[in-house]
Structure 1
């Protein structure tokens, strides 16, 4: 690299004036208008449930919630219901007495009553050696085995070894827990994660803990919801109240990603820059000097703890956005990561869960800086969600048959293309 380029990092930015860098990188990707059927059709949504969500590994939680044998939590996944208008299944995610992470359908094998009635959105952890059904008192171990049946002698040919909780395939990667309800998954978890496994192998997810978590249920298709979080085109307008200058400046007024990577199987990755023109206010400057904040690490050399970000060494790095197909975004920065889950409920209703994750605080200034970053991000997430109902209303209005996307909206296009491929397979 020439000295001139080294001294002028802006020279390493894409030539947005004369190229469409993502299309130039991936000329094989078609770029026509996108029909709205996949966002509004109930039949298409049912096909997504059957061919995508019931076949693939889905994020269920983090290992920070399963620190000890006997720890467990319950996760409800509406999209996995067995009937179009059926009830929502929940799953017990637990660490058994031997330390193995397991997952089970939350249904007693006597007459089907839920065994664990814990609130799915409590985000906490409980601990039990045994799970007892509140209906008739059947008792299960945290390995799923049936331990006790009241009045057992009155049953006919009951084999307790065959009546344990129904297991679900479960696997862990970098402290992220995934489940798969397909009896015979076509891929291992790592095969489904693809290039993310190698690209993120050194990022310290295992050391990071949830500092803030938020959720909202919105009247919007799940893909429309994800797309709002995997492009920067909206930042100048949607985030004018919270971060009007951080990501939009003279070098990049439209918050274009500095690089975009698309992978087989629907996975994708983007890198965003912070504007070198950005001048944090006095409070933000003060807290950023003392600990990790909302998009960068503390100014004390601790950035070395966060290898694995910025895979193409883009200038003015802010954060990466990694799309894990089908419904998870993981956004690492030098200091932590943001997480986004998008849980389809119906063709036009989605439950979103967002989080920010930092290292465990070691001193009071860490707490202060983390809290400041958490509040800023909370407000930005609120802005992200506020337009989503309106987007769905417009798509369903009858006033359009398709939507168009620009070069730096290639991640939404790749998501759409992959969904179409899997539904039509």
Structure 2
């Protein structure tokens, strides 16, 4: 589906005829049956980002990831040779969750030499090998070499750790990502290690929240009161049209022009932005990160604002021109609930002023995200009424069409071409 040159003047959506322009159904966001199919067709077969290598600073460093839609938990651990491996978080003796602290459903992290089961004390090396069995002589012909931890396909790209729950993934991680994503190779993700993290349980289908961050048509209206009145009025009048939308396989990109915040009229800035020299668009004093990779700012905007890379199924990398980036994760927990995770990454602060600027950006982001999340819960409740079953999308909402089409395509492929079950 990759067609990267800018289309002729007119409609982006019409440039991708397979997406169509008719009103769109949101049946895939209110159907328990479709959610069950997404579990098997998407989340047990696609590459899923579960973290970054900085979370594993030394041999034996580990963290767990709860993937509730797939009904599993995985352990991700740094090996003695520096590589990263992943395993299903289950003891081979009686099926107890192997790594957890006080509450079995909470994610944990740490460093260890071995993993020890809380139930009967079986121990496993960080490479997954079973090393110790309590009262081993009581078992019948037990071959410890046959009872290591169950591995999960795991690979790393630009410091991002991905797993694939399919025992035999159909694509390598590099093949799955494709050129639009791998053209980010060379971005200094490894230098932006100061992380601010938010996590929220949202009462809406995971795709609906992804939709909210795939278009900026809503921003002047929904977030209008978050900005000074003069700026909000100007933004609402101008609307928003991105200079570039791009589709590549299952992934999407929206690239935008920028706003140089400190060059705005003082009446269009908040006093707190002047004090902290920071805000929604990040700190005003951008670090020098050196040359940027070819995959950034493909529209060659001047000034450039941000590139939002939407990696199927549930991961977003949003790179700002000001020298920092965001990631979003949307982890489904039911057909109408999910866990939203937001991470902000900056170069480590060297001064108190830089630290305050980072916190200002993080707090501002949280407030905008809360507005989006609250609205989506209202959307979910009314979609479930089924009073309206088809909704018109404008040209700025092309990425929404693509996400829902790709999700449907993966389910159709899983079913062997029959999607009728999802229409009930």
Matched, 1:337 2:325: yes
* CA–CA separation in structure 2 for the residues paired with 1:104 and 1:153: 27
Q: 1:121 to 1:355 in 2, by over 3 A?
A: farther
Q: How far does residue 19 in structure 1 lie from its aligned partner after superposition?
A: 5.4
1:59-87 C-alpha deviation (Å, 9 max, x unpaired): 11111100111100111001102xxxxxx
- Deviating more after overlay: 361-370 vs 159-168: 361-370
User: In the aligned structure 1, how far is the partner of 2:274 from the partner of 2:37?
Assistant: 49
Which residue matches 2:192?
Answer: 208
The separation in 1 between residues aligned to 2:26 and 2:20, in whole angstroms, is 16
Partner of 2:416: none
Distance 1:106 1:124 in 2: 12
Q: Is the 8 A contact 2:87 2:151 kept in 1?
A: yes
Distance in 2 of aligned mates of 1:285 and 1:256: 28
1:120 & 1:77 partners in 2: Cα distance? 13
Partner in structure 1 of residue 288 of structure 2: 302
Residue in 2 aligned with 1:4? Answer: none
Q: Which residue number in structure 2 is paired with residue 147 of structure 1?
A: 131
Q: In the alignment, which residue of structure 2 is the partner of 1:35?
A: 25
The 5-angstrom pairing of residues 77-116 of structure 1 reads 77-81=67-71, 89-116=72-99
Give unmatched runs, 5+ long, in structure 1: 1-13, 82-88
**More off after superposition, 352-361 vs 305-314:** 305-314
Instruction: Tell me, in whole angstroms, the C-alpha distance in 1 between the residues paired with 2:15 and 2:104.
Output: 42
**Stretches of structure 2 lacking an aligned partner (at least 5 in a row):** 1-5, 414-424
Distance in structure 2 (CA, Å) of the matches to 1:313 and 1:296? 20
Matches for 1:238-253 after TM superposition, within 5 Å: 238-243=222-227, 249=234, 253=238
What is aligned with 2:400?
A: 412
Cα pair 2:227 2:270 within 8 Å, conserved: no
1:166-199 C-alpha deviation (Å, 9 max, x unpaired): 1100011111111011011001111111123333
TM-score, normalised to structure 1, is: 0.87
Number of aligned residue pairs: give it.
Answer: 399
Q: How does 1:183-262 map to 2 (within 5 A)?
A: 183-243=167-227, 249=234, 253-262=238-247
**Contact persistence 1:65–1:124 (CA under 8 A):** no
Give 2:391's match in structure 1, choosing from 386, 399, 403.
Answer: 403
Cα-to-partner distance string for 1:86-128 (whole Å, 9 max, x where unaligned): xxx2111110222220111111000011111146997874100
Q: Which moved more, 1:132-141 or 1:30-39?
A: 30-39
Q: Give the structure 1 partner of residue 367 of structure 2.
A: 379
Pick aligned residue for 1:319 from 280, 303, 306: 306
398-407 or 251-260, which deviates more: 251-260
Please state if 1:23 is matched with 2:1: no
Using the size of structure 2 for normalisation, the TM-score is: 0.87
Partners of 1:40 and 1:373 lie apart in 2 by 34
Over 6 Å off, 4+ runs: 119-124, 245-248
Tell me how large the CA RMSD over aligned residues is: 2.6
> In 2, are the aligned partners of 1:170 and 1:177 still within 8 Å (CA)?
yes
User: Is the CA contact (8 Å cut-off) linking 1:96 and 1:142 kept in structure 2?
Assistant: yes
**1:298 Cα deviation from its structure 2 partner:** 4.4
Tell me the equivalent position of 1:52. Answer: 42
| Cα offsets for 1:376-421 (capped at 9, x unmatched) | 1111111111111110111111211122211000111110111111
Contact 1:74 1:120 in 2 (8 A): no
